[in-house]
Structure 1
């Protein structure tokens, strides 16, 4: 009776504990599944990161091209009155530098003669509006150049009136008529542009 009881207890213990080989196999299968899932997750994350980097790089390339074309347009049209383009850079995910902003300095001072100021401000205004999409700063420079051009035209007209009024060889009515005619012509047109006579030191910048 006692032997039978002992035998039953022994069998019960063996069944409840299970086989060591079976436990090891289950652990290996579980570990293998976790590793595969982890690798799959890493691959997914790497792919998403690469797509994000590629998108960012393309955006930077587009911006770089846009900025350089914009500033080069200012410099090309501005000629002697414009400085060389300068750029602000951003490092992309690929480690390369891309231009994301820039400017070109421009001489907006009046020339020595009002006639030359007219020519100069026409160049400055054209340079300000040269890019396909001028910035608010570009429009500001263009407006400043136009204002100075108008002031120079008014000065040329004023000088024409004074010259004819002070001419002793003409009558008062002739002087007035001639002066008015010359003033109108002077305001609407000007002498040939001579770059050597145009100079100044006041600078602004295109954005």
Structure 2
């Protein structure tokens, strides 16, 4: 069977087989290259050996930051009602493990209609947001807002007492 310019079906199949073999070789080389890259380690020390003390110092910093971050967010969550679970930001340490380096918890900032309940809840919110050391700007903002709302409620309560007299 003759197809265009002396090309037969068998020669076309032969060319297709050759192209498939070439592609298979390329795929094999790419796979081998990626396998070698997985086993390679990145050398960031410019030929210098990493001191075990330096490695341990960096690892200790990650572990300490992780512990502080978790304790900070858990303290917030334990002192007030929350809207969901604690969310952490992670960074990979030198040992390949993920360490919490930041986080947040959504506190329930809704205010009950009952003034006594509202004041009690605002006190809890203020305590929860200011309890840990190292206040973030979000912590300070929640504390400020809770304090302002509490002052507004107390001033309304004071006006109600004065108007009743």
Shorter chain as denominator, the TM-score bin is 0.5 to 0.7
Q: 1:57 aligns with which of 55, 59, 77?
A: 59
Distance 2:161 2:78 in 1: 34
Residue 100 of structure 1 aligns to a residue whose secondary structure is strand
Distance 2:82 2:71 in 1: 18
Question: Structure 1's 146 and 85: CA in aligned 2 closer, same or farther, altered over 3 A?
Answer: same
Residue segments in structure 2 that go unaligned for 5+ positions in a row:
1-46
Identify the structure with bigger relative contact order (alpha carbons < 8 Å, sequence gap 6+): 1
Deviation at 1:85, TM superposition (A): 1.7
The number of equivalent residue pairs is 119
**Deviation string for 1:176-203 (max 9, x for gaps)?**
xxx3xxxxxxxxxxxxxxxxxxxxxxxx
Map 1:98-113 to 2 at 5 A.
98-113=99-114
Map 1:141-156 to 2 at 5 A.
141-156=142-157
Matching residue of 1:37? none
Deviation at 1:82, TM superposition (A): 5.7
Query: Quick check: 58-67 or 131-140, which moved more?
Result: 131-140
Matching residue of 2:76? 74
**Deviation string for 1:10-32 (max 9, x for gaps)?**
xxxxxxxxxxxxxxxxxxxxxxx
Distance 2:67 2:115 in 1: 38
1:74, 1:104 within 8 Å by CA — same for their partners in 2?
A: yes
2:82, 2:105 within 8 Å by CA — same for their partners in 1?
A: no
Deviation at 1:138, TM superposition (A): 1.1
What is the RMSD of the two structures over their aligned residues, measured on CA atoms?
Answer: 1.9
Residue segments in structure 1 that go unaligned for 5+ positions in a row:
1-43, 165-178, 180-207
Runs of 4+ in structure 1 displaced over 6 angstroms? none
Length-normalised TM-score, structure 1: 0.52
Q: 1:45 aligns with which of 34, 39, 48?
A: 48
Determine which structure has the larger helix proportion and give its number. 1
